[in-house]
Amino acid sequence: MKFLFIVIMFISFLIYPIGVHANGTSFLEDSSSPSGHVLPMEEGIVRINKEKIMIDIANDSSRGFFDMDNPPLVANIQVIYEIVNETKEMMDVPIAFPQPGDSYQWNITLDGENVPLSGKVKMDTSDLTGGNLHKEWVHPRTNENYVFSGYDALSKVSLESKTFNIQLKAKESHELQINYEAGLGIDETRSLHPVYRLDYLLYPASYWSDFKDLSIQVKVLPKSFVHTNLSLKQNDKDTYVAEFTELPKENLVLFISPSSGVVIDLFHSRGTALFFLVLWTIMFLITHWKVLPKMKNKILRQGISLALLFLSLFIGYDILSHKLLGYPFTTFQFIVFIGYVILLCFVWVLSSRKRGGGD
């Protein structure tokens, strides 16, 4: 029984300080706030010779022990434009950059020189999207299309855009580079695994006098499931790329579902995951009370028993440490996990004593 007591005290010590009891939340619905291609705020003769979009998806926070909240994802975005003033005179070009959502770490440079943000402006959503809205969400694990039930940022009449000004020399090519962080939308309601969404508006590129050669590179978290509306190809296991000689007819929309764990990734519904855990627990009980006692090799029997215990503890943690139940039942899920650990350890100790007495 000392082993059982030590295991229970150890797990309680790990879990109690992080305040799991206070962190219960309902399933989140947070709309994706689009960012997009720069566009001139005044008519002029300026063309884009080349554009390279690099999007690196990362966790905004690390996941603690038995932290059931899905971490927010951020997109570290770098966009490089080769921009040309086709006139014979130097031009002052006011530029808008669609980004209505939360964005951080802004850094704009023109030929290596910093360019400050000058403000923000409201622009008609139809002018930024071309009326081509990708309203449906897609679950990248199942490719299921569905309607987002929460508030949709793209349904707004106008979207906020950041503004800045640049000077372009006559008949010269310049490199405009923009770096920033943008949050992804999230939907936890559809299935066991959250779906994250990022919209990048390409339509504003049509406002320049000419546009050529677009390259897109998206790097995602390891073992992520990805769906995109454009023909991005998987370059390696975590990177997706595409090359376009002309502006695509659709805006870029990314749907991402990161790996949730080891065992939990095998299931799509919360009910199925819980049902599997119940079956596994029954199997553990039957094995220790009916199967293992019949084995004559003591060392093999003890080895299998101990391996099953640790495997079962891992499976229970991998499933129950994810948000299977919404608020206010999150605390109950924590209690179920503690009860699961106690049950397994109790059965293992009794089974070991029973087998020891019979040898």
**Domain boundaries, given as residue ranges, for the chain:** 2-24+263-358, 31-257
Model confidence at 177, pLDDT cuts 50, 70, 90, reads very high
Write the DSSP string, 189-244: SSSSS-EEEEEEE-GGGGGSSEE--EEEEEE--TT-EEEESS--EEEETTEEEEEE
Closest CA to 163 of 42, 33, 80: 42
Which residues, other chains included, contact 114 with Cβ-Cβ below 8 Å and sequence gap of 6+?
107, 108
Q: What is the pLDDT of residue 28?
A: 65
CA angle 87, 91, 92 (to 5 degrees): 155
Instruction: Reply yes or no on whether the pLDDT at 329 is more than 50.
Output: yes
Helix axes 298-320, 330-358, angle to 10 degrees: 180
Q: What is the pLDDT of residue 357?
A: 54
Instruction: Reply yes or no on whether the pLDDT at 13 is more than 50.
Output: no
DSSP state of 17: G
**Position of tokens 């309607």?**
147
- Residues 198, 196: Cα–Cα separation, whole Å: 7
Cα of 268 vs its chain's centroid, Å? 16
Instruction: Reply yes or no on whether the pLDDT at 317 is more than 90.
Output: yes
Amino acid at 25: T
| 124-149 confidence digits (pLDDT tens) | 888 888 877 788 899 999 999 998 87
Label each residue of 246-313 as H, E or C: CCCCCCEEEEEECCCCCCHHHCCCHHHHHHHHHHHHHHHHHHHHHHHHHCCCHHHHHHHHHHHHHHHH
Instruction: Report the pLDDT averaged over residues 224-250.
Output: 93
Instruction: Report the pLDDT averaged over residues 156-168.
Output: 86
**Strands 195-201 and 35-36, sheet pairing:** parallel
Report the CATH architecture of 31-257. Sandwich (2.60)
Closest CA to 236 of 250, 259, 220: 220
Helix, strand, or coil (residue 11): helix
